Structure 1
Amino acid sequence: MQQPQQIGTTDPILAAGDEPASNTSPTPYFGDVLDARMSRRTLLRGSLAAAVAGAMASSLPFGRALAAGSAAPSLGFQAIPVSTADSVVVPAGYRVQTFIPWGTPISGSLPTFSLEASGEDQAHQVGSHHDGMHFFPLEDSSRDGLLVLNHEYVEPRFLHAAAQGLALDSEGFPQHEDGSRDADQVRKELNAHGVSVVRVRQADDGQWQVVEDERNRRITGLTPMRLAGPVAGTEHVVTKYSPDGSMTRGTLNNCSHGVTPWNTYLAAEENWSGYFANEDTEIDRRQARFGIQTRSEGRYQWHRAEGGADEFVRFDATSRGASPREDYRNEPHTFGYMTEIDPHDPDSTPVKRTHLGRFAHEGVIFAPAVEGQPVVCYSGDDARFEYIYKFVSARPYQAANADGSLLDEGTLYVARFNDDGSGEWLALAPGENGLTPGNGFADLADILVNTRSAADQVGATKMDRPEWGAVDPATGQVYFTLTNNTRRSEEQRNAANPRAENHFGHIIRWQEDGTHAAERFQWDIFLLAGDQETGRDMNGEPLDQDAILASPDGLWIDPDRRVWIQTDISESAVNTGVYAPFGNNQMLVANPETGELKRFLTGPVGQEITGIAMTPDQRTLFVNVQHPGANTSAADFAEGRLVSHWPEGGSAIPRSATLVITREDGGIVGT
């Protein structure tokens, strides 16, 4: 008999599966830094609003000067209002096609979508909870290419026929009376995670279609993966599955992504730690600093799948054997990386690039590659009070032979934001900034497996959930969203703005001092999210009704320099309390020169707008809608009362899906 099992978050502001704060180090909070900077600028101004406006109106010291030769992008569409409807709304003159919802067949025998579909069927269908995404054109076409997208997590109650009628919330799942789980349900959940590679083509009628192609494939929570970089082959990643520490299985909780200069895809492993149980009484920093505590339960109890198959047992990180080669105590150390996938080679093995650091990667963004110079990329650690990182390759970029090995040698840095608007990159390398054996860091592999602890040691600045990044193609300025942090106390004043209990978040940007490989930068705030009372644009002016937003998350800058901003108010909070004015999650567009901001899209009930990609001609925009209906209560689910039936409507279960957005006149999207 199937029973409901709930393993939910203890913090209502966090989305399902988000990691609670685990940083107890004494390093500075970003709010401390920002508060000090603003205090000097706004002495005797007398109010919080004036202080915020004053700090932002001063603008970046490099702002318009560097952009002077760049055309300001136009925002030619009419802004749309906030919405609470169970539908997608875009501006007049635009149309939307709903595309590749969870369960769409793409490979194998093309198994039809059904709640009765097996775990093996799911390995040939588009995964669940669409997230980061990129369009790889074939032969430079804007009508034919490979659409590659992440699948962050699953909602088991919508995944299994056996869940219907059970009292399950968004984190709940069916299980047997003895606590075990059905093995095929677990297999289906693992196969609904990961990445989809789908060939897509625009037909003559303008509609996009899936094309059967040998490159179509699923990379899932069960796919064999190679470890590369300084951690590979070390004692940290030795397991029963890989006694030499060279391999692991699966990529999980992939949020945003990255695209390398050599045209491969990087999937980010974000909130992976909750998947693991560990009953050891003492847990060292390699797991404790990432939120793993002594517990017999994992997020979905995969380790309790009936039959005891090794592919499931590995989610129990308890020390059960005589050595790491006899159990999976080290399995969590094989997660928390950027996973490189070659979408053009269906036989290629995904590779986890360990030198980019181990933490809750939201994604990675590359600076434009320059022939003969190092490759540079940035990544945020999406958890409260965590950090922003940068990797600089040791070898220079050479287009003729560049590949992923460039990411295996170099220097990982972490950011410190100073109170005068300057910043510095602190090297996470042996012997530098106190990273010595005497301070508990034996070598480079030890530093990287313990990236967060190393960042604590060097004195990086604690941030409010660093999420997506983007680089302005004209100025080189780097933008990062910081989505929220309601745990910041008045005394901490801790991340990205002067407000305690930071409900709404903001966007920061900086300019490197010289090339992107520089070790110093200048920073300031681009946008302070909020309602008309608390939100501010880059000039310090209040946001109008067409521009209010909360919890900025997804971020992308198009070739014309429009800044696309997507929001992720948690399903537990959306349309309630302080979030009521914002309606459903949305996408807005900003002008980086003027600060003009307009709402472009609103999504259905209970979802997150995330993932964005565009064809080379800029006439087709792909956007993802993740977890519609996630705010359906357990009681309502048991009775079949769902708050969303998007995208099919009627009585259908909600399904994550991709939006294909075009202009009715065939023009460039956003103009």
Structure 2
Amino acid sequence: MSHHEFDDEIHNTSNNEHFQEVLSRNLQNPQRRAVLRGGVGLSMLGALPLLSACNSDSNAATPSTTVSTLAAASALGFTTVAKSLADDVTLPPGYTYTVLHATGDRLNFTVPAYTNLGTETDDWSQRVGDHHDGMEIFYIDAGGRPTSTDTGRALLVMNHESSADAHFFHPRGQTSGGANGKKFSQFSGWDLGVRPELEALKEINHHGVSIVEIVRGAGGAWTLNLASSFNRRVNGQSLMRIAGPAAHIADIRKLMVTKFDTTGVTSRGTLNNCGHGYTPWGTYLACEENWNAYFAMPKQTAGNTLENASGKLATSRSRYGLPVNLTAPAATTSGTQGWHTVSDTDDRFARFDIAPRVGANADGRDDFRNEPNTFGYVVEIDPTNPASIPAKRVALGRFAHEAAVVGIPVAGRPLAFYMGCDSQNEYIYKFVSAANWDPADFGRGMTAGDKYLNEGKLYVAKFTDDGKGQWIELTFTNPLISGYTTYNFANQADVLVNARHAADAVGATKMDRPEWGAVNPVNGEVYFTMTNNSSRNTTNNNAANPRAYNDTDGRMRSGNPNGHIIRFRETSNLSTATSFDWDIFLFGAEADAGANINLSGLTDNNDFSSPDGLWFSKVTGICWIQTDDGAYTDVTNCMLLAAVPGKVGDGSRITVNNNLNGTTDTQDTFIGAALGEPKLRRFLVGPKGCEITGITESMDGKTLFVNVQHPGENTPAIGAAANFTFESQWPGVSSVNYGPAGRPRSATIVIRRTDGGIIGA
């Protein structure tokens, strides 16, 4: 996600232990140091037991995915790409890229081609959305049904995270009835006034998911099929079904009651879809991340009919970063996109005004006080059935969902989905299905989703100081939850809808912005990116987060601006395990930062900052790392790196000496000793101002699809179109010159080798 959005805000004020505190205690005990031994440990992938069981335990899960080995002599088979500030995509020699589609491209021939001037008069419901993000490929057969066979025909499904760059989609940038239109910002917001309806529609409909059919042609190149009946959008206004456990669905729906649906059975739209997931039965999981940023409490006026949120409603909202009190009378701005200001008759825009109305029914049927309760979920979509209604899977909890990655499916056993809550000091969660996996459910769409994603157990992670951890179930039967005084839970539905409060109650471990997760197809181990943490200092760091420093080289930020990646292994590799082992995989850093910051020994050939996206190839086993950085962008644009993963428990011990603003401390930690440039290489550098995010591959491993998000995000947001000074003009002005030149656009690129070989090997 964009580092200029709300992902850095802290809404966790609980006294729960931080991951740092856990490791600090652990490393004071010499007997436990040998247990952790976390680290990169990037041994040659060819030496891994690719087809064997993950564990000698007879009850251990055996990976069901066949993964090719990389050549033992050269773990990664491409030349390292140098750092770059060029306004283009840079790839290794022997690789090329094309653009599949970009923001604003039409999904069918009935929609006019994109002008890139902001002059479109349609509502964007039949165009590709903005801020391309998480992405997955689904193969279909001649009849359009899901298949596990490489047919050369597939549906590419992707998230669209934000409309933070929506000034590009209007002739003179965003406007309002105030003095000037303003770019969305949590610091300044909007001049108050009524937003134009068409502008608001475009911005709302930029969000959500795009589904497009792609076909492989002569020579193996993939192209978009504009004549496909599968091409469609699921956006910020699409009808959604509220789905959850049968025993609690009635109570869940009471929390979803709005003026739109007084029964709480349905809701409208999905917003800020960032990381993603897919299911073994062939559906797509869109995750709602910073959805809270769009809701407003309007300025008070004399004789207004609005009132502040209070009691449980206020407590719930505060934990999710939502407005509680009406804006003070003297206020002149609104810290949202201002969609709630648009006049309407069907509440398409009024629903973003979440102030309770004086005299309204307390259950919310007369206003939109409960509208935020309908966001913050994993949204399941069936790409192959355009008539199906997407479902918000409440059983997986409500928070700032960054991803929902499934463990290796094992027939006859429950499925596990791993999820991060992307804000500083938030938690890692796991959902375990009540139903056992049956491969015969492949292709059964939303029916299978109801079977596996409505009934199950939701857990949160607690990391203990012996290099292990436990999964704590979030259930109302737990006295820590039912007796929690900060938030008075009423029932299990309340627990699911206010999962952050429930995680606080049971003492979950605060983490450093848990973003994307990924599962190693070789051994089933789970990886999560911890992008960065500006709240780090020398009094709260420890072995898992041992660095506290100022980034004085260019863009100065304090704390731990470069981030890291952690990983864990479930006990006996079971999805139902309630315990796990964990360690650190990799630390981001600038190559010249010094040994106490550059803990993984990165060089100019593989240094990076702020890992965000994370994805494993099922063909090669490569771990692909995507960055969304604000600390190192004075030296290089964001990038994509390839790593050969090790396994939990490898590595060695080092000591880190910290110095931050004149205060010092010493911390022990464990990282990999065998990291070398052949096993971690920079594969791609993107254009100016972008984030590299979202990646998937063709079934043969010969095509890599990668998303380039918000190039030119620092372009000025106000003024006549002629006065825009573009930071980037990609992809219109680039080596591929895709589409109309001028304003930058997010896009999906298609990467292939000139010799037709497998990517990265």
Q: How far did residue 17 of structure 1 move? A: 3.8
Aligned to 1:611, which of 683, 690, 694?
694
TM-score normalised to structure 1 length: 0.89
1:322 to 322, 340, 361: 361
The answer to whether structure 1 residue 454 and structure 2 residue 475 are counterparts is no
* Cα shift at 1:42: 11
Matched AA of 1:134 = E
Cα 1:135–1:14 change in 2 (3 A) is closer
Q: 1:421: how far off?
A: 0.6
Does the 8 Å contact 2:51/2:522 carry over to 1? no
The aligned counterpart of 1:77 is 78
Q: How far off its partner does 1:65 sit?
A: 8.6
- Cα offsets for 1:399-431 (capped at 9, x unmatched): 224611111111100001112110100100121
Could you tell me how far 1:204 is from its partner in structure 2?
A: 1.6
SS at match of 1:82: coil
Deviation at 1:26, TM superposition (A): 0.3
Distance 2:484 2:688 in 1: 53
Partner of 1:284: 314
C-alpha contact (below 8 Å) 2:416/2:575 kept by paired residues:
yes
Q: Deviations over 1:324-354 (max 9, x none)?
A: 0000000000000000000000111110000
**From 181, 187, 194, the counterpart of 1:180:** 194
Tell me how far apart the structure 1 counterparts of residues 629 and 267 of structure 2 sit (CA, whole Å).
33
Q: How does 1:237-386 map to 2 (within 5 A)?
A: 237-278=256-297, 280-282=308-310, 283-293=313-323, 294-296=325-327, 297-307=334-344, 309-320=346-357, 321-323=360-362, 324-386=364-426
Q: Size of the alignment, in residue pairs?
A: 642
Paired residue type of 2:25:
A
Q: Return the alpha-carbon distance in structure 2 between the equivalents of residues 635 and 58 of structure 1.
A: 45
Which stretch shifts more, 29-38 or 372-381?
29-38
Superposition pairs for residues 438-477 of structure 1, below 5 Å?
439=485, 440-477=488-525
User: Does structure 1 retain, via aligned residues, the 8 Å contact 2:380–2:391?
Assistant: yes
Alignment gaps of 5+ in structure 2 = 53-66, 142-148, 299-307, 328-333, 549-558, 647-673, 735-740
1:207-226 superposed matches below 5 A: 207-211=221-225, 212-226=227-241
Report the equivalent of 2:93: 92
CA contact (8 A) 1:462 1:495 kept: no
> CA 1:479–1:66 in structure 2 vs 1: closer, same or farther (change >3 Å)?
farther
Distance 1:170 1:136 in 2: 34
CA distance in 1, matches of 2:609, 2:30: 26
Structure 2 residue 476 is the aligned partner of structure 1 residue 430: yes
2:335 and 2:266 map into 1 onto residues whose CA distance is 22
1:238 and 1:330 in contact (8 A); partners too: yes
Structure-2 separation of matches of 1:85 and 1:40: 48
> Is the Cα–Cα contact under 8 Å of residues 629 and 644 in structure 1 kept in the other structure?
yes
Root-mean-square deviation (CA, aligned residues, Å) is 3.0
Deviates more, 1:65-74 or 1:653-662: 65-74
**8 Å contact kept, 1:242–1:248:** yes
Match 1:25 to one of 6, 11, 14: 14
- Give, in whole Å, the separation in 1 of the partners of 2:134 and 2:394: 20
Tell me which amino acid in the other structure corresponds to 1:431.
Answer: T
1:561 CA displacement: 1.4
The counterpart of 2:605, out of the listed 546, 558, 563, is: 546
Query: 1:36 is paired with a residue of what secondary structure?
Result: helix
1:135 aligned onto 2:218? no
Shift of 1:499: 1.9
1:564, 1:209 → 2: CA distance?
24
Report deviation, 1:209: 2.1
How many angstroms apart in 1 are the aligned matches of 2:85 and 2:191? 39
Q: Distance in 2 between matches of 1:463 and 1:217?
A: 37
Distance 1:438-1:664 versus aligned 2 partners, 3 A rule: closer
1:508 aligns with one of 522, 542, 566 = 566
Match of 2:727 among 628, 643, 655: 643
Cα 1:158–1:397 change in 2 (3 A) is same
Which letter does structure 2 place at the counterpart of 1:566? Q
Helix, strand or coil at the partner of 1:447: helix
Say whether the 8 Å CA contact 1:466–1:480 is kept in structure 2.
yes
Q: Which amino acid aligns with 1:145?
A: A
Amino acid corresponding to residue 508 of structure 2 in structure 1 = A
Q: Say yes or no: does 1:621 pair with 2:704.
A: yes
Cα pair 2:40 2:586 within 8 Å, conserved: no
Shift of 1:167: 7.4
Using the TM superposition, give the Cα deviation of residue 19 of structure 1 relative to its aligned residue in structure 2, in angstroms: 5.3
Who is 2:106 aligned against? 105
Between the aligned partners of 1:300 and 1:308, the Cα distance in structure 2 is: 20
Distance 1:229 1:636 in 2: 47
- Give the C-alpha shift of residue 205 in structure 1: 5.0
Q: Secondary structure at the match of 1:347?
A: coil
Stretch moving more, 388-397 or 167-176: 167-176
Report the Cα distance in structure 2 between the residues aligned to 1:215 and 1:379, rounded to whole angstroms: 28
